[in-house]
Amino acid sequence: MRLIFITLLALIIATVVGLGATWLTATRGTELGTLTIGAWTARPRTGTSEIDPYARASIARSGELPVGTGDGVAFTASTDDKKRPLDGRCDVVVSGVTPAARFWTLTLYDRKGQLVANSLQRYGFTSQEIVRGSDGGFEIRIASRSRAGNWLPTGALERYVLMLRLYDTPVGVATRSQRDAPMPSISTVGCP
């Protein structure tokens, strides 16, 4: 009787620990093969056949298709440079320069990867439609109310994710640091 109880307990612990760890890694992701520059993270290897099993599991769960390496690379940010979560009720400024690429797009998603509805039907910017300063740098204002210049509406969402995709770019598996890939800074400039 006691043996059965002990075995049962061990099996229950095994199930909880095993499936719990799988769920955590599939939803939150792992640090395996990530490239972090400032607030931005990319996983260049998810766009190749050398994708790690954890990334495969998380892609299968979310239902997205990763950007292939010959196509480009995708960086995501869910916090600003000071590790403060991106808040749609605040004013957030993305500014600076981007790594070398033929085109890039910056898109705002909710935490499930869906676009956020707004009356302008503006969900992001491409490198071509952005208004730049005389030095070639740009500044995008992400806020719930309209702003001058490059304004990206948040729909006053509490938490959102930014995705910067570089297309036809040398940035990839071999990229290590800010020097190879100068990413724009993200800063929260004001909260109501």
Residues that bind another protein (CB under 8 A): 2, 6-7, 9-19, 21-22, 25-26, 46-49, 51, 53-54, 56-57, 59-72, 74, 102-103, 105, 107, 109, 112-117, 121, 123-124, 126-129, 163, 165, 167-168
| Distances 30 to 35, 60, 62, 176 between C-alpha atoms, Å | 12, 15, 15, 18
Q: Which residues of 5-32 are buried (b: 16+ CB within 10 A; e: fewer)?
A: eeeeeeeeeeeeeeeeeeeebbeebbee
Please state the separation of Cα 83 from the chain's center in Å.
13
Helix axes 2-28, 53-62, angle to 10 degrees: 80
Q: Which is nearer to another protein, 114 or 134 (CB)?
A: 114
| Token pair in block for residue 87 | 């808040």
Q: In what order do the strands lie in the sheet with 150-153?
A: 150-153, 138-143, 91-96, 185-190
- Output the smallest distance, CB 36 to another protein, in A: 19
- Output the smallest distance, CB 84 to another protein, in A: 23
Q: Which is nearer to another protein, 59 or 97 (CB)?
A: 59
Residue 109 sits at φ, ψ, to 5 deg, of -125, 160
Q: Which is nearer to another protein, 144 or 187 (CB)?
A: 144
Given a contact cutoff of 8 angstroms between Cβ atoms, the answer to whether 34 and 25 are in contact is no
- Output the smallest distance, CB 192 to another protein, in A: 24
Q: Which is nearer to another protein, 23 or 178 (CB)?
A: 23
- Output the smallest distance, CB 41 to another protein, in A: 14
- Output the smallest distance, CB 190 to another protein, in A: 26
Please state the separation of Cα 131 from the chain's center in Å.
23
Q: Which is nearer to another protein, 72 or 184 (CB)?
A: 72
- Output the smallest distance, CB 15 to another protein, in A: 6
Q: Which is nearer to another protein, 160 or 188 (CB)?
A: 160
